[in-house]
Amino acid sequence: MASKNSTSTNDVIYTARLIRTANPSRPTGSAIAVRDGKVLCVGTLDECKAWGITNVDTRFQNKILTAGFVEAHSHVMAGMFHFIPYVGWFPRMMPNGVVVPGVKSTEELAERVREVASRTPLGESVIVAGFDPIYLKTERLSRHHLDAATTEHPVFVFHASGHLATINSFALQKYDIGPGHPAPGVGFDDSGEPNGELREPAAMALSKDEFRALGRIIFEKDTLIQYGSSMRNAGITTATDLGATIHLNDEGFNLASTVTSSEDFPVRVVAASRVIGSVNDMQDAVERIRLAQGKSHNKLHLPIVKMVLDGSIQGFTAVIQWPGYITGEDHGLFLLPPEQVVDYLRPFHNAGIGIHCHCNGSTTSQVFIDAIEQLLRETPWLDHRHTVTHAQLITQAQMRKARNLGMCANFFVNHVFYWGDQHRDITVGPDRAHGMNPCGSADRMGLPYSFHTDAPVTPPGHLHTMWCAVNRRTATGEVLGENEKISVDRAFHAATIDAAYQLHMDHLVGSLEVGKYADMTVLDDDPYTVDPMTIRDINVWGTVLGGIPYERPVQTS
Ligand SMILES: [Zn+2]
């Protein structure tokens, strides 16, 4: 074999117990050679050495190296848990690697709040986040639970849904929120007193200092840095900020560009601007994206845009087809007028920018797919890869049509575990719940798909999404949708190369192939050979990005 002797000092060969490439031509290997941050060769150690490289690094000799995981739908906000104490139901790893136990009752929540208050100067805000009342069998969270924690600080409990907060009596008083307060979204108890609930941003903003503090944290440089850490901890090497917290104005973009280009920053970021404003603003948005694309670099990419059409299924705000929800009100909420969707999307489609549209419900999936069909009739683009993101209640007919149009799906398959029991019993009923996030059907009909965690909505991590897609177990251990299970091999591809495909980045990331970035996930065990029920328990050592190892901090509690 020909060898090149023009080796550079940063050339390296990593050996491993096994390398899984997600490249069907050569799916496995035992050594990988890296030059200039790119894959030079994957195969045996001898094949790699034939390139003239003598620098062999054996630190991964007992590990499994896989093509780096690609997350096509998350949010920089996932970094906020470094600054705001986490109070969700499930245990969760923080960006620094520490696992915080779950909060299982209003009493435990009060205990957590009391602890934070004890190290906060009197009168200053106590903010906690991630609280998820859907699992609580007891009464609703009210100001009284929080008053038990402190009467000397304003307390702001930001719920996991992002649509609700609960504040204590101190905060209600501070902001003059009393009986009969006229703002929509302020909750009252039976006696007409505010109960502490603030629904949706307009009401949450009444708790001015706390809401602003939250907003500041979400947009801070340090939050982006912590987002990078939490992605690395989960083994993710390319992460999409879908509906970008990263602003495309000069200041915001330059900041993100500087942070992500630092060698300390462990992940490639895809910044997907969100379609907001009026239809007439869309051409401007296209120009802004094009300008930013001109300034992008190998760790910051802008191939796609995001649109949001509805809300969430568990919040009953996803717009779903007949017969609607089995309980609760049918108040599905269109976030853009459906008849205008095609006008909103036209400038992006015509400019060659991929469109990822948030559709939790079946009605909104239909609206989006129909809009794409119309745009394709007007302006053919054979390689658009427009993607229905969430696609949780997409129907069989919609999937066939999406496939025919060249579209993709990005399933929120973590829902099967986190909210599957609730979907079966409370939201859509067993029939449709069994068919939610239908990876098996997408597989059978050839619709390209990937998975996402929507972090911070669920914790980042593709071992968990793969586990969900392969086993389809709910939190109570029941199987939801036996016929929608897929193989480990298909799940691995959905978490890597197929996610890269819908980001228009499969020539750069998503598999270990000659010439692509040397991005790898480093695991203690092989997802293909462990008991499928333990895939999510495999330890993530960290990642390799462009040939550079990034180790997850070893957790301490
Ligand atoms: Zn999202």
**pLDDT tens digits, 362-374:** 999 999 999 999 9
274 CA distance to ligand 1 middle (Å): 11
86 CA distance to ligand 1 middle (Å): 19
251 CA distance to ligand 1 middle (Å): 24
Q: Quick check: pTM over 0.85?
A: yes
Residue 4 clears pLDDT 80, i.e. is over it:
no
Place of tokens 């129907």: 395
Residue 551 clears pLDDT 90, i.e. is over it:
yes
The predicted model gives 163-174 an average pLDDT of 95
**pLDDT of the residue at 329:** 67
Alpha-helical segments (H) within 153-281: 169-174, 200-204, 208-218, 221-233, 250-261
Residue 9 clears pLDDT 80, i.e. is over it:
no
Question: Mean of the per-residue pLDDT values for the chain?
Answer: 94
**pLDDT of the residue at 332:** 82
508 CA distance to ligand 1 middle (Å): 24
Confidence of residue 7 (pLDDT cuts 50, 70, 90): low
Q: What is the pLDDT of residues 104-121, one digit of tens each?
A: 999 999 999 999 999 999
How far the first Cα of the chain sits from its last, in Å, is 52
Q: What is the pLDDT of residues 192-228, one digit of tens each?
A: 999 999 988 889 999 999 999 998 898 889 999 999 9
246 CA distance to ligand 1 middle (Å): 14
318 CA distance to ligand 1 middle (Å): 13
Return all residues near 424 (Cβ < 8 A) that are at least 6 apart: 430, 433, 434, 474, 480
> What is the distance between the alpha carbons of residues 307 and 415, in angstroms, rounded to a whole number?
21
* Neighbour count for residue 37 (Cβ, 10 Å): 14
Least confident span in 87-91, 160-164, 258-262: 160-164
SS (H, E, C) 143-163: HHHHHCCCCCCCEEEEECCCC
Residue 1 clears pLDDT 50, i.e. is over it:
no
350 CA distance to ligand 1 middle (Å): 25
Confidence of residue 2 (pLDDT cuts 50, 70, 90): very low
**Residue 341, token pair as written in the block:** 């969707």
Phi, psi dihedral angles at 185 (to 5 degrees):
100, -10
Confidence of residue 524 (pLDDT cuts 50, 70, 90): very high
Between 284 and 249, the more confident residue is 284
454 CA distance to ligand 1 middle (Å): 5
The predicted model gives 395-408 an average pLDDT of 98
Q: What is the pLDDT of residues 309-359, one digit of tens each?
A: 998 898 888 999 999 999 866 668 898 999 999 999 999 999 999 999 999
